[in-house]
Structure 1
Amino acid sequence: MLSKIEQWIDETNRHYESHRISCDKFINEFDGFYTKSFLENAFFVVVNTIPKPDFPGLREMGLGDLIDMHVDGITYKNTYYILPHVVNNLRIHFHELVHVAQWEFLGASNFIERYIREINHHSYEHAPLEEMAYGLDAHYSNGAEKIDIQNYVSEKI
């Protein structure tokens, strides 16, 4: 199932490739949190509907609530998808970039497996990968001291 999910992710990212916007546009806003090279290799796509895999087996794995849940953004590897009404919300971008760093550190298969396990065991709200992203986006939006997110992710995962 993990390879099927990753295949779907790769197909989705390829499908939207021409619509990607480089996150290097946030170099000034996220200075001290994300490196220039990290932002140059991360992308977002503004979509009217968040793409989510919904094929047989995922709901049986306990992911029905996640598939049906309304979200303003979702990250697949180095690309995240956001809805138009949050395109100017830096906190959303910051949050999804934390997930890009998690994907980068864990690798696709490990991220997918861990994310599913955490959602099933803790629920979305209390999944450690989500708690990390929410904690760091709150840290950023509260104007706290700058920390290197990639290093933070690699130390805390």
Structure 2
Amino acid sequence: MRLHLLALLAGGPAHGYELRQALEKLLGEAYPQPNIGQIYVTLGRLEQAGLIAGRHVSQSDRPDKRIFEITEAGRAAVDAWYETPSEAPRVRDDFFMKLALAHRTGRQDQINLINKQRRHYLNLMRALSRMDTGGEDGGRIASLLIEGATLHLQADLDWLERCQEELE
């Protein structure tokens, strides 16, 4: 969340609720919405790290608010984030470890585990297909996020099929 907030602040100063609204507007239901408390805790940490600077703004009809602005160090962190490729393949997958250890420990049938995981992935795919993509830009960004998640799930389903073929 640190870098997501920094990237939003690179577009201009904002307070916590504006940042949350920006994420909601951009991604709609496609992305789990952050808790406002989590946003403010993260903003505090970013400020302590010198990546953003905050200032109080008085409001006559509401409580004062704190507006945050990105610093040069924050801009450098965002630039580095954009330049760094995202995570490597998932070789430390929790399900894979369950599958690998099930036979060895005798605690669970491997095919049963595969079937449970398959049902879970199919339920996730159904939930994704029902999501509202009414985000920014006519929902294009949210649609791409949903499509990417669906393709990952399909690849996981294909891999589960391969595991089952190998283990039967």
TM-score range (shorter-chain normalised) is under 0.3
Structure 1 length-normalised TM? 0.23
Greater fraction helix = 2
| Greater RCO, 1 or 2 (C-alpha within 8 Å, sep 6+) | 2
